[in-house]
Structure 1
Amino acid sequence: MLIHTGTARTVSVDLRLAASLSLLAGAINAAGFRSLGLFSGNMTGNVSALSDHLALGDLRLAFWAVSLVIAFISGAFASALLIEVGRRRGISGIYAYSILAEAGLLALIALADIGLPAIRSDPLVLVGVAFVMGLQNAATTRISDARVRTTHVTGTATDIGVELAILLGNARSQSGRGVVRDRLILHLATIVAFLVGGIGGVLIYGWIGGGLFLLIALVLTALALPDARRARAAHLADPRG
């Protein structure tokens, strides 16, 4: 799931990637909103909030809105840079390592949230989570050639509308319609997983607070570690590959 890239990926692999990581992203995003009323993965909403705060002269909230956007971009930049370096060095497991880095950062945030109750209401925690979300989104976008975008619901919803129009308009050959149908299923699964994850995130955060982030970090590790190990074993078996 986190080794093969581009056209080497099958529909089922992309579907598993979208369902699993969108589920977790939805949980993180909704938990942040429940906790502080801010989104860690919705940059459209944060930019809209920024314009509202600036227009009303609320510079404090404007500062946090722009901080979330900058953190998300920084996370995406860090992930993409890590991936570029890894690809140049022929590290096939670089995407798995990127997700493991996300898990590690999220675990640190969770431990800080659990161990330091005073910071739970501090938006700085959510800024850290936004960095993590940017990191994840960049990794999934790169590995799937932008077919999977775990937090970009607006773009995914647009894709669904376009794909429905193509299918209903009967504007493609049978093989072309099959490709569009596969993408439609992928994008529908992404949104449904994000929604279900959001519901679960709100409920679980209400029960265990920052422990939710630690739980998600463990799930991310379980998803990425097998691929990282396989890539490492393959490299040791054939260092030239």
Structure 2
Amino acid sequence: MRLAARRPTIVNPTIHIRSYNFGPFLVLIVTGCLLSFLAGYINTICIASLFQSSIAGFTGSTSRMVIELAQLNLGKTFYYILLIFSFIFGSFISAALIGGSSFRIQRSYGLVLVLESFALAFSYLCEESASRLKQNSSIYLYTGACLVAFTCGLQNGMCTTFSGAVIRTTHMTGVLTDIGLVLGQALFYPRTRKHLWKLKVLVPLYASFCCGGLSGWFAHKLLLIKSILLASAIVGVMGIGHVCYCKIYLMYTPKQISKKHLRRNLKKRLGTPTIVVHGSANNIFNTKQNGIAKESIQEQQDDMVDTPEIQNLFN
């Protein structure tokens, strides 16, 4: 039985990150570090403010939920359940908006960042309302904390989709684990030293998270809860900038993009040509070495793209 060759549905994103040139790799690192900085900034503010709990990581929140459940404190248990669900829902929305694991500049990363910015702004309004009200303030506090957890899920889900869990910006447990794994494997197993490039990503992420936490502490001392609006503004500018770039990019280069996808589809349809050779075995030649098959299929594609019917699609 012949097995048809299929394209794998899951692509390892770390291969693409490693193969980036210096320019795209630097942009990826700078963007990841900025998001990690903002995550540390927001998490410190949540600990120092009325929330008084870490929102970025949920290992501690899960343990607290179990403790409150064991003590039959159902109100606190429900609060931590809402936090965990909000984080999961943020990752769910991120996956629904982006819709793929491969990195493409046209994906809705900007929309995710804009949504994150609005959620942070609403969390500020909730905590501001809680600080003014003496009664029933817990509802506003819970809502604000859940909104921040939602933003962390959005951001972490967005980064994980195209990085293969190499870039995680909202919690540092996985980052520190990966740093230890890479160093341990490289020290005792020389074959794995090819993975040392990950340290160029992981170490700056951790340093950025620490710097963000330090900045968040001083910002909260000066601005109190209003300091979270600064993070909301930065994330919003990043999201709007990405959306505008994609709109301009798609507006001015639609023909080039359409022709590129058309050529790719033609390659899939034509496939590899089958050449039948008549005669003795001495006359058989290798088409892969002399390039005849490659030139033939390229000529067929160029002829099909240059036909009047195809050209009318670009006009």
TM over 0.5: yes
> What residue is the counterpart of 1:145 in the other structure?
164
> What residue is the counterpart of 2:308 in the other structure?
none
> What residue is the counterpart of 1:186 in the other structure?
201
After TM superposition, list the pairs within 5 Å mapping 1:92-111 onto structure 2.
92-111=106-125
What is the rounded CA distance, in whole Å, between the counterparts of 1:92 and 1:145 in structure 2?
A: 19
Deviation at 1:151, TM superposition (A): 1.6
Q: 1:212 to 1:130 in 2, by over 3 A?
A: same
> What residue is the counterpart of 1:163 in the other structure?
182
Q: Name the SS of the counterpart of 1:209 in structure 2.
A: helix
Say if 1:99 and 1:139, in contact at 8 Å, map to a contact too.
no
1:210 to 225, 240, 243: 225
Say if 1:11 and 1:182, in contact at 8 Å, map to a contact too.
no
Q: 1:94 to 1:157 in 2, by over 3 A?
A: same
2:41 to 16, 27, 33: 27
Deviation at 1:93, TM superposition (A): 4.2
Whether 1:82 and 2:97 are equivalent positions in the alignment is yes
* Paired residue total: 230
> What residue is the counterpart of 2:298 in the other structure?
none
- Deviation sequence 1:194-229 (CA, Å, 0-9, x none): 122112212212321221221001111233333322
2:31 to 1, 4, 17: 17
Q: 1:62 to 1:112 in 2, by over 3 A?
A: closer
What is the rounded CA distance, in whole Å, between the counterparts of 1:230 and 1:15 in structure 2?
A: 19
> What residue is the counterpart of 2:68 in the other structure?
53
- Deviation sequence 1:11-33 (CA, Å, 0-9, x none): 32332122111110011112112
Q: Which stretch has the larger CA shift, 35-44 or 8-17?
A: 8-17
Say if 1:110 and 1:214, in contact at 8 Å, map to a contact too.
yes
Question: Displaced runs of 4+ in structure 1, greater than 6 A?
Answer: none
Relative contact order (alpha carbons < 8 A, sep ≥ 6): 1 or 2 greater?
1
Say if 1:76 and 1:135, in contact at 8 Å, map to a contact too.
yes
> What residue is the counterpart of 1:68 in the other structure?
83
Whether 1:38 and 2:59 are equivalent positions in the alignment is no
CA RMSD of aligned residues (A): 2.5
What is the rounded CA distance, in whole Å, between the counterparts of 1:199 and 1:74 in structure 2?
A: 28
Unaligned 5+ segments in structure 1 are none
For 2:240, the aligned partner's letter is L
> What residue is the counterpart of 2:291 in the other structure?
none
> What residue is the counterpart of 2:143 in the other structure?
124
Say if 1:14 and 1:148, in contact at 8 Å, map to a contact too.
no
What is the rounded CA distance, in whole Å, between the counterparts of 1:17 and 1:180 in structure 2?
A: 21
TM-score, normalized by length of structure 1?
0.85
Say if 2:116 and 2:154, in contact at 8 Å, map to a contact too.
yes
Unaligned 5+ segments in structure 2 are 1-11, 258-315
Say if 2:62 and 2:80, in contact at 8 Å, map to a contact too.
yes
For 1:167, the aligned partner's letter is A
Say if 2:98 and 2:107, in contact at 8 Å, map to a contact too.
no
Q: 1:144 to 1:96 in 2, by over 3 A?
A: farther
Q: Which stretch has the larger CA shift, 10-19 or 132-141?
A: 10-19
For 1:215, the aligned partner's letter is L
